[in-house]
Structure 1
């Protein structure tokens, strides 16, 4: 089995079972999104946000997965307005990466964070 075939098998498994895992509490979709974004070079859920920044991935209330980009500007006393262009570029990159893998991507109207779905309606 090639790497691409293994990846597609994993994607199909993600869409079939998206309940929380007993050991991690993460859904298959959460794990899949984390892996894909990590492979693309993003820091996912950094331990020290004040230094590193990066992406946070967690379950969205209405289903799917919420991806948030965190920079030091998101922390108290940070000037987030200076980073609007960077946020747009990161959202474009995330959207491109995830849509190419067959996921749906939409912006949360309240926060601007990205809501990721399986692509199957």
Structure 2
């Protein structure tokens, strides 16, 4: 991952879209890879997130809601306070401008917000 992306992650944090029913488990155990079938086998142990940049929030939400059952995602989790070890397990995907973390991700700074009518 480039230094520029790492700086953006430290500045803005990351966001993960999900369903409200998943919040309790995520806050207790972290974002866990493999909770849903991956689109490709190489994505099996990855958690997908986006940089929580207010400028791109609406576009990312629209992109998520355009993908099958993800239309029902009604919560966003904001995550920051990453350790260097956690950052080392992250990779940046240019398309769709996503950050993936290999394995479970949990920090002390994970808060959720309902999506409608929420905006950052």
Indicate the TM-score class for this superposition, using the shorter chain for normalisation. under 0.3
User: Which has more strand, going by share of residues?
Assistant: 2
Answer with 1 or 2: which has the greater Rg: 1
Q: TM-score, normalised by structure 1?
A: 0.26
Higher normalized contact order (CA 8 Å, seq sep 6+, divided by chain length): 2
User: Which has more helix, going by share of residues?
Assistant: 1
